[in-house]
């Protein structure tokens, strides 16, 4: 006999049920519908935290107060339905208020077991089971499922599974959605799924699936497919293989729409390509001329640099030819810029085909080109090639049915005879080209290295002269002018000297020509005027009235600030007396712009400055001109005076000048009076103011007063005492 049989025998049925109820923790209820009374067991009360007696008496309405307000209606509806059906089980889930204040989920099952005589429901019994935990779990499950659905949707992430035994293909909702379809619309199969892929993707996928099915190897691919609505999408599809005893049974994977990601990636790639292109365009435009495609100035300098290095190594010559088209502007002006541009393009190509492969032709700017001809063994070969460029440039070119032609001026310099850097070489070729233009265009000129050397030395000289001015190495010497009749001193001429620390006292011929037309000429001129004013004041202070004449260079005289500078100098000498300073201007310079010069002279006259026309006779002044110049003296050039004793022509010139001066009411000063004979002749010709070595050589300021003293005592040096 088994233990179970013994056990069954020992208990009666009621005890048995009681035991089951207790062990399963099921609450039992019994509802007398007519009286509304509800009876229940201990477990029923326990489910909501009470003892039986705490709940007694219990009726249906009281019970309803223990139900969650939102569930009451459901309960009533289901009970009503159960009463109505009168079949099956009453089953409902609802919440009941626990003694502790929270709600407990209850699963109620029951059955109407008795009707009254009139057929109304009379008695119903049933159970209550606590399903709170089950509810929580279900809710969690629901939330998880929902979350999974949402995230898959957000991530456009679908899934699929292929059962290899049945060949059934399963798609998740999102996979359908990604294909713009739904399970009701489309039945996915292995072949139907594949058909939507783009050809290239389809081939890749077939191969990958083949490997998965036959070899159990998974994949992770990025492909392109069409959706049911013919929308092209980028997808990522992966596959893992489930094996059963080494044999693939399921393929499972994701199916993800990565169109946005891919399109961003493509945009990025395109942006990268664009960037690379922009970079190379930029590189091209920084090195090449966009119109002609020829190397530009930038690249040219590099090429020259490279070429001269090569030339040094190979012991060959390089010609740098600067080509400037003559009157190219006319083409633009007459036919418009577009024609000019076309012309330049065609000409560039012709230049390019004329030079050799190893040479370079570059567009320097506008209508300027530079050819770099290298590997030359002699200059003659270079010139031959460059002559070809010259004749090519003058060939007519047909643009828009018009025959257009220009010529070119070309300047060349050769490295290494012109041993300069690329920039200098270009400048030298440019200078030579400029010469070609000046000499009538349409020709080639070679850069003259010697001339350039002269320019360099000149620059150095200018630097040194500037330094001399700063170092106060200049001094003024003074050469007396006297009246031959009275022997009195009528003034001195200030003559500049350079007290050179090494070379001694240098005459103006040694440095004034160097600064001619340089701004330095004005600086030195200002210094001379200032020094003369200063000296004049010193002599005046010593009681000597010695007018000083100052030589003014043409450039200085015509400087816009000349008169105002003079005013401020005069303002610095409150005791300045009109006539104590004179200006000597060259006849030749006065003639250049006579109206302007005479205006300046008048302004200076107004300030108390008188004028001499210096070196008179050399400028061939006409009478009309002379009349316009408000001068006080005419200084006859010393060349006439010196030779007048022997040269009858010079004598008549001197005579003529003296007569002329009388007509214009000008006084005459004769320069270069070296001997008493000169003096005598001058007096006989009617001129009596003289300056010359026969009276005194130019002397320093310190020597003037001592000389004057001697001169006053014995004013006849002219008689041969020097």
User: Where on the chain is the footprint of Mg ion (CB under 5 A)?
Assistant: 551, 584, 614-615, 671
Minimum distance between the CB of residue 639 and Mg ion, rounded to whole angstroms? 9
399 φ/ψ angles, rounded to the nearest 5 degrees: -125, 125
> Pick from Mg ion, ligand C2E, none: which does 491 bind, CB < 5 to 8 A by kind?
none
Nearer to Mg ion, 367 or 614 (CB): 614
Minimum distance between the CB of residue 531 and Mg ion, rounded to whole angstroms? 16
Minimum distance between the CB of residue 605 and ligand C2E, rounded to whole angstroms? 20
Question: Do the beta carbons of residue 393 and residue 373 sit within 8 Å?
Answer: no
Upstream peptide bond of 610 is cis (omega within 30 degrees of 0): no
Question: Do the beta carbons of residue 355 and residue 373 sit within 8 Å?
Answer: yes
As to burial, measured by CB atoms within 10 angstroms (0-12 exposed, 13-18 middle, 19+ buried), residue 279 is exposed
Nearest Cα to 131, choosing from 22, 26, 18? 26
Nearer to Mg ion, 320 or 528 (CB): 528
Give Cα 354 to chain centroid, integer Å: 36
Minimum distance between the CB of residue 557 and ligand C2E, rounded to whole angstroms? 9
Nearest Cα to 551, choosing from 477, 483, 607, 621? 477
Question: Do the beta carbons of residue 40 and residue 29 sit within 8 Å?
Answer: yes
List the 38-40 sheet strands across, edge first. 38-40, 27-32, 121-130, 103-115, 90-97
Minimum distance between the CB of residue 592 and ligand C2E, rounded to whole angstroms? 15
Element (H, E) at 163: strand 157-163
Minimum distance between the CB of residue 368 and Mg ion, rounded to whole angstroms? 47
The whole-angstrom separation of Cα 595 and Cα 387 is: 48
Nearer to ligand C2E, 432 or 495 (CB): 495
Minimum distance between the CB of residue 656 and ligand C2E, rounded to whole angstroms? 20
The whole-angstrom separation of Cα 42 and Cα 279 is: 88
> Pick from ligand C2E, Mg ion, none: which does 33 bind, CB < 5 to 8 A by kind?
none
Nearer to Mg ion, 96 or 636 (CB): 636
> Pick from Mg ion, ligand C2E, none: which does 27 bind, CB < 5 to 8 A by kind?
none
> Pick from ligand C2E, Mg ion, none: which does 613 bind, CB < 5 to 8 A by kind?
none
Nearer to ligand C2E, 528 or 581 (CB): 528
Nearer to ligand C2E, 346 or 717 (CB): 717
> Pick from ligand C2E, Mg ion, none: which does 392 bind, CB < 5 to 8 A by kind?
none
Nearer to ligand C2E, 219 or 562 (CB): 562
**Secondary structure (DSSP) of 76-99:** HHHHHHHHHH-SS-EEEEEEEE-T
Question: Do the beta carbons of residue 125 and residue 17 sit within 8 Å?
Answer: no
> Pick from Mg ion, ligand C2E, none: which does 366 bind, CB < 5 to 8 A by kind?
none
Minimum distance between the CB of residue 328 and ligand C2E, rounded to whole angstroms? 43
As to burial, measured by CB atoms within 10 angstroms (0-12 exposed, 13-18 middle, 19+ buried), residue 475 is middle
Closest residue to bound Mg ion by CB = 584
Nearer to ligand C2E, 552 or 681 (CB): 552
206 φ/ψ angles, rounded to the nearest 5 degrees: -60, -45
**Residues sharing a CB contact under 8 Å with residue 55, sequence separation 6 or more, in sequence order:** 40, 45
193 φ/ψ angles, rounded to the nearest 5 degrees: -60, -45
Nearer to Mg ion, 108 or 496 (CB): 496
> Pick from ligand C2E, Mg ion, none: which does 692 bind, CB < 5 to 8 A by kind?
ligand C2E
Nearer to Mg ion, 248 or 619 (CB): 619
Question: Do the beta carbons of residue 96 and residue 55 sit within 8 Å?
Answer: no
Nearest Cα to 644, choosing from 596, 605, 687, 606? 687
Minimum distance between the CB of residue 617 and ligand C2E, rounded to whole angstroms? 12
Give the pair of three-digit tokens for residue 304.
């020259």
Minimum distance between the CB of residue 695 and ligand C2E, rounded to whole angstroms? 8
Element (H, E) at 660: helix 648-663
Minimum distance between the CB of residue 554 and ligand C2E, rounded to whole angstroms? 9
**Residues sharing a CB contact under 8 Å with residue 412, sequence separation 6 or more, in sequence order:** 319, 320, 321, 322, 382, 383, 386, 429, 432, 444, 445, 446, 447
The whole-angstrom separation of Cα 574 and Cα 533 is: 11
Minimum distance between the CB of residue 493 and Mg ion, rounded to whole angstroms? 5
Nearest Cα to 178, choosing from 197, 158, 194? 158
Nearer to Mg ion, 431 or 589 (CB): 589
Minimum distance between the CB of residue 561 and Mg ion, rounded to whole angstroms? 23
Minimum distance between the CB of residue 586 and ligand C2E, rounded to whole angstroms? 7
Nearer to ligand C2E, 110 or 672 (CB): 672
Nearer to Mg ion, 359 or 614 (CB): 614
Site residues (vs ligand C2E, CB under 6 A):
479, 494-496, 507-509, 512, 528, 551-553, 584, 614-615, 638, 671-672, 674, 691-693, 698
Element (H, E) at 324: strand 317-326
Question: Do the beta carbons of residue 630 and residue 609 sit within 8 Å?
Answer: no
The whole-angstrom separation of Cα 58 and Cα 44 is: 12
Minimum distance between the CB of residue 683 and ligand C2E, rounded to whole angstroms? 17
Query: Angle CA(634)–CA(640)–CA(644) in degrees, nearest 5?
Result: 125
Helix 337-354 and helix 328-335: axis angle, to 10°?
A: 140
Nearer to Mg ion, 521 or 584 (CB): 584
Element (H, E) at 500: strand 489-500
> Pick from Mg ion, ligand C2E, none: which does 693 bind, CB < 5 to 8 A by kind?
ligand C2E
> Pick from ligand C2E, Mg ion, none: which does 126 bind, CB < 5 to 8 A by kind?
none
Nearer to ligand C2E, 158 or 480 (CB): 480
> Pick from Mg ion, ligand C2E, none: which does 508 bind, CB < 5 to 8 A by kind?
ligand C2E
């Amino acid at each position: 006999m088994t233990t179970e049989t013994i056990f069954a025998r020992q208990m009666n049925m009621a005890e048995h049920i009681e035991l089951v109820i207790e062990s399963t923790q099921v609450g039992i209820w019994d509802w007398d519908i007519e009286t509304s009374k509800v009876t229940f067991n201990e477990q029923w009360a326990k489910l909501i935290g009470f003892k039986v007696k705490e709940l007694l008496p219990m009726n249906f309405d009281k019970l309803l107060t223990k139900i969650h307000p939102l569930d009451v209606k459901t309960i009533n509806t289901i009970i009503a339905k159960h009463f109505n059906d009168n079949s099956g089980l009453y089953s409902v889930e609802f919440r009941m208020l626990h003694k502790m204040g929270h709600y407990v989920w209850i699963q109620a099952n029951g059955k109407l077991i008795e009707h009254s005589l009139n057929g109304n429901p009379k008695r119903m019994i049933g159970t209550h089971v606590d399903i709170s935990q089950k509810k929580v779990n279900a809710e969690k499950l629901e939330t998880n499922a929902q979350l999974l659905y949402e995230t898959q949707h957000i991530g456009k992430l679908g899934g699929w599974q292929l059962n290899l035994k049945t060949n059934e293909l399963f798609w998740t909702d999102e996979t359908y959605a990604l294909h713009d379809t739904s399970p009701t619309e489309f039945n996915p199969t292995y072949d139907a799924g594949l058909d939507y892929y783009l050809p290239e993707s389809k081939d890749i996928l077939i191969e990958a699936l083949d490997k998965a099915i036959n070899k159990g190897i998974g994949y992770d691919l990025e492909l392109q497919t069409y959706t049911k609505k013919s929308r092209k999408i980028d997808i990522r599809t992966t596959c893992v293989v489930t094996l059963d005893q080494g044999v693939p049974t399921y393929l499972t994977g994701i199916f993800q729409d990565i169109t946005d990601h891919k399109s961003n990636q493509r945009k990025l790639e395109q942006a990268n390509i664009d960037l690379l292109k922009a970079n190379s365009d930029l590189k091209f435009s920084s090195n090449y001329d966009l119109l002609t495609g020829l190397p530009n100035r930038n690249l040219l300098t590099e090429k020259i640099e490279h070429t001269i290095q090569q030339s040094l190594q190979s012991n060959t010559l390089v010609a740098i030819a600067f080509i400037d088209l003559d009157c190219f502007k006319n083409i633009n002006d007459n036919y418009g810029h577009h024609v000019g541009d076309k012309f330049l393009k065609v000409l560039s190509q012709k230049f390019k085909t004329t030079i050799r492969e190893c040479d370079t032709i570059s567009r320097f700017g506008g209508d300027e080109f530079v050819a770099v001809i290298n590997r030359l063994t002699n200059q003659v070969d270079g010139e031959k090639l460059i002559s070809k460029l010259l004749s090519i440039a003058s060939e007519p070119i047909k643009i828009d049915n018009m025959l257009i032609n220009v010529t070119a001026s070309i300047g060349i310099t050769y490295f290494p005879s012109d041993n300069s850097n690329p920039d200098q070489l270009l400048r030298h070729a440019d200078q030579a080209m400029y010469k070609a233009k000046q000499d009538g265009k349409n020709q080639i000129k070679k850069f003259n290295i010697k001339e350039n050397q002269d320019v360099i030395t000149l620059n150095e000289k200018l630097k040194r002269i500037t330094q001399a001015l700063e170092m106060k190495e200049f001094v003024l010497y003074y050469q007396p002018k006297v009246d031959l009749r009275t022997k009195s001193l009528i003034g001195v001429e200030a003559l500049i000297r350079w007290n050179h620390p090494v070379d001694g006292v240098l005459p103006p011929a040694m440095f004034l020509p160097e600064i001619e037309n340089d701004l330095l000429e004005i600086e030195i001129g200002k210094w001379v005027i200032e020094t003369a004013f200063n000296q004049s004041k010193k002599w005046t202070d010593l009681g000597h009235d010695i007018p000083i004449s100052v030589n003014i260079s043409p450039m200085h005289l015509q400087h816009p600030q000349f008169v105002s500078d003079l005013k401020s100098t005069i303002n610095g000498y409150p005791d300045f007396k009109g006539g104590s300073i004179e200006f000597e201007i060259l006849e030749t310079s006065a003639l250049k712009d006579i109206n302007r010069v005479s205006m300046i002279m008048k302004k200076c006259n107004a300030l108390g400055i008188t004028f001499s026309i210096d070196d008179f006779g050399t400028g061939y002044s006409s009478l009309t001109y002379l009349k316009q110049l408000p001068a006080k003296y005419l200084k006859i050039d010393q060349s006439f005076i010196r030779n007048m004793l022997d040269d009858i022509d010079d004598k008549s010139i001197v005579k003529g000048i003296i007569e002329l001066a009388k007509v214009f009411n000008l006084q005459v000063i004769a320069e270069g009076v070296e001997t008493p004979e000169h003096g005598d002749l001058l007096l006989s010709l009617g001129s009596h103011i003289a300056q010359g070595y026969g009276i005194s050589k130019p002397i320093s300021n310190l020597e003037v007063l001592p000389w004057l003293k001697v001169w006053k005592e014995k004013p006849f040096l002219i008689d041969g005492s020097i």
